[in-house]
Amino acid sequence: MTVALTRLDPHIPDPIESRRRAAGRTVRAAYATIVFGILAFFVVYFGRPILYLGGPGSVSSPRYLVSLPYIVQINSITVVRGGSVKAGEEIGRVRSPQHDEIVATYMRSLADIAGRKAELRVKARVARRISRRGALTSAAC
């Protein structure tokens, strides 16, 4: 048994169609957004412990030397916490008074060596002249 439903009068508005037309798409979109938002909140809230590991404790990693083992003063830092750093990229600028002191000591030592070399050259020149005079006087005798 097949029953066909036909409308009595095509000019009489259908109550379901007129409600849908009056509500509009924006109201349905707002309702769907709210429903899916609430659903997404519960999925994230209850699904996060499955995806992310969490717990009390501390994270440790091996230490890496960033500069020479001198006492330094940080002048500037060019990276932010949690940012990525590539190999060879500048992460900051430091100044070391201890390093400056070591360089000054080294330069003093170089100056001392240069002074000693000059003094030895003078002594060698004097020794050569004396030996020449000694050779000349012995040859003259």
77 phi and psi, to 5 degrees?
A: -120, 125
- Dig out the tokens for 9 from the structure: 């009068």
Strand-pairing partners, residue 77, are 92
Contacts of 68 (CB under 8 A, 6+ apart): 96, 99
- pLDDT of 63 reads 72
Q: Is residue 65 part of a domain?
A: no
Instruction: Determine which of 36-45, 65-74, 86-95, 103-112 has the lowest per-residue pLDDT on average.
Output: 65-74
Q: Is residue 63 part of a domain?
A: no
Q: Is residue 47 part of a domain?
A: yes
Q: Is residue 86 part of a domain?
A: no
Q: Is residue 87 part of a domain?
A: no
Model confidence pTM above 0.75:
no
Instruction: Determine which of 28-42, 67-81, 87-101, 108-122 has the lowest per-residue pLDDT on average.
Output: 67-81
Q: Is residue 108 part of a domain?
A: yes
Range of the domain at 36: 13-52
Report the domain count for the chain. Answer: 2
Q: Is residue 34 part of a domain?
A: yes
Q: Is residue 141 part of a domain?
A: yes
Cα first-last separation, the chain? 158
